[in-house]
């Protein structure tokens, strides 16, 4: 029950609802876009070799080494890199640092749920702009707006990506607004990252995470990339809220993960190949599958609704994500797992559809 002591803000907000992490039985978990593969063996080694006695000391509040590694990976100086405890923290700081009361925040009607939650938490007005009928972002809608813009690319939960060439006019036409491109899934969309544009536009913040493509959702590591003045803005918030936001173990693990590009590429390519196979299998069963460039598929069946299929899969021990929301309630969001897991998924769906 809500405490009678709740303040006005806490009373007003609707918190984000994470995907289930159930404990009642073993599920095939295809509901939170985690990696089906373990993190790099170099991560395991970094953990094994971590000198635990160092944990008595505070971590480096400037996160220098990890930021330098991450910058080097993308050819950016460390002053253009911000490290956060998951990309959610980076996004939250971006809302706080660059918004003013009265200026609305713009994002699509169908996108990552946290944008709405942050806007509400920080008392900001939000304006949602509808995706086109084919569920792509209508880029012209975002030109020259009187407020900051938050776009996930590839978008969630559709998986549809826009190219940097398609996004650039949004960044260019809003020179005095912050444009955030949330690239949580961009590693599964080769060539689609806007990071190269951060060198040319001082109003662009690109946000990425190690939770999906780096198989480190349990570690909480995310990054922001942008002009040094934008990074300074994020640091203003961080140093007013949680200066030691990245712990020592996460720093060591993050550095090891960046180093192992071979393992990273192997896992990513495997997930992309499995995604394409699964999309074909679903299409053969009568699903409309949106053209995903992420590590999940968003699909609806011509005859059977999303809630029914979600429940049928759940009873078979397979968890996917279903959103009881306008426009998308007939869709399932299915994380790409191993080939074996996807085999279980398609078999369970075939079985349920045969009952129709």
Of 87, 245, 274, 292, the one binding ligand PLP (CB under 6 A) is 87
Mask 117-156, x = binds ligand PLP (CB under 6 A)? -----------------------------------x---x
For residue 217, state whether it binds ligand PLP (rule: CB under 6 A): yes
Residue 155, number of CB atoms within 10 A of its CB: 27
Of 36, 86, 233, 254, the one binding ligand PLP (CB under 6 A) is 86
Closest CA to 28 of 355, 339, 300: 339
**Position with the least CB separation from ligand PLP:** 86
**Strand ranges (DSSP E) for the chain?**
28-29, 81-84, 105-108, 126-129, 148-152, 179-182, 204-209, 222-226, 287-289, 296-301, 318-319, 331-335
Q: Give 69 or 182: the residue with its C-beta nearer to ligand PLP.
A: 182
Q: Which stretch binds ligand PLP (CB under 6 A): 10-18, 83-91, 260-268, 316-324?
A: 83-91
Residue with tokens 């939250």: 92
Residue 63, number of CB atoms within 10 A of its CB: 24
**How many Å separate Cα 128 from the centre of its chain?**
18
Minimum separation from the CB atom of position 299 to ligand PLP (A): 17
- Count of chain residues binding ligand PLP (CB under 6 A): 12
Of 28, 198, 209, 250, the one binding ligand PLP (CB under 6 A) is 209
Residue with tokens 């997930």: 271
* DSSP per position, 103-144: S-EEEESSS-THHHHHHHHTT--EEEEPPPTTS---GGGGTT
Closest CA to 28 of 352, 346, 341, 343: 341
Q: Give 158 or 278: the residue with its C-beta nearer to ligand PLP.
A: 158
Residues 149-208 that bind ligand PLP (CB under 6 A): 152, 156, 182, 184
Minimum separation from the CB atom of position 99 to ligand PLP (A): 18
CB 348 within 8 A of CB 310: no
Q: Give 234 or 348: the residue with its C-beta nearer to ligand PLP.
A: 234
- The Cα 194–Cα 166 span in angstroms is 10
Minimum separation from the CB atom of position 186 to ligand PLP (A): 10
Of 95, 98, 107, 112, the one binding ligand PLP (CB under 6 A) is 112
Q: Which stretch binds ligand PLP (CB under 6 A): 38-46, 62-70, 80-88, 303-311?
A: 80-88
Distance between first and last Cα of the chain: 41
Minimum separation from the CB atom of position 29 to ligand PLP (A): 14
Q: Which stretch binds ligand PLP (CB under 6 A): 55-63, 81-89, 242-250, 333-341?
A: 81-89
* Contacts to ligand PLP by CB under 6 A: 86-88, 112, 152, 156, 182, 184, 209, 211, 217, 222
């Amino acid at each position: 029950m809500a405490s009678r002591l709740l303040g006005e803000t806490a009373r007003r907000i609707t918190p984000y609802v994470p995907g289930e992490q159930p404990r009642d039985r073993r599920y095939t978990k295809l509901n939170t876009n985690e990696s089906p593969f373990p993190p790099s063996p170099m991560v395991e080694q970094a953990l094994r070799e971590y000198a635990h006695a160092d944990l008595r000391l505070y971590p480096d509040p400037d996160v220098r080494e990890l930021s330098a590694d991450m910058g080097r990976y993308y050819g950016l100086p460390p002053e253009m890199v911000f490290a956060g405890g998951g990309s959610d923290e980076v996004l939250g700081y971006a809302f706080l640092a660059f918004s003013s009361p009265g200026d609305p925040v713009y994002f699509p009607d169908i996108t990552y749920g946290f944008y709405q939650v942050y806007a509400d938490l920080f008392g900001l007005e939000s304006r949602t702009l509808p995706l086109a009928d084919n569920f792509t972002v209508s880029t012209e809608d975002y030109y020259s707006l009187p407020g900051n813009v938050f776009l996930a690319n590839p978008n969630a939960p559709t998986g549809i990506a826009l190219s940097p060439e398609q996004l650039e006019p949004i960044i260019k036409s809003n020179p005095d607004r912050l444009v955030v491109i949330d690239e949580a899934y961009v590693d599964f969309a080769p060539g689609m990252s806007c990071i190269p544009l951060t060198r040319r536009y001082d109003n662009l913040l690109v946000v990425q995470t190690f939770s999906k493509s780096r198989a480190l959702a349990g570690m909480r590591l995310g990054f922001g990339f942008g002009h040094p003045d934008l990074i300074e803005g994020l640091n203003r918030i961080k140093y007013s809220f949680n200066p030691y936001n990245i712990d020592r173990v996460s720093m060591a693990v993050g550095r090891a993960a960046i180093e192992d590009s071979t393992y990273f590429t192997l896992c990513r390519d495997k997930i992309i190949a499995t995604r394409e196979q699964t999309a074909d299998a679903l299409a053969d069963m009568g699903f409309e599958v949106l053209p995903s460039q992420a590590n999940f598929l968003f699909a609806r069946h011509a005859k059977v609704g999303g809630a029914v299929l979600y429940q049928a899969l759940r009873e078979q021990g397979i968890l996917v994500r279903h959103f009881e929301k306008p426009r998308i309630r007939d869709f399932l969001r299915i994380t790409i797992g191993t080939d074996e897991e996807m085999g279980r998924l398609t078999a369970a769906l075939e079985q349920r559809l045969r009952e129709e």
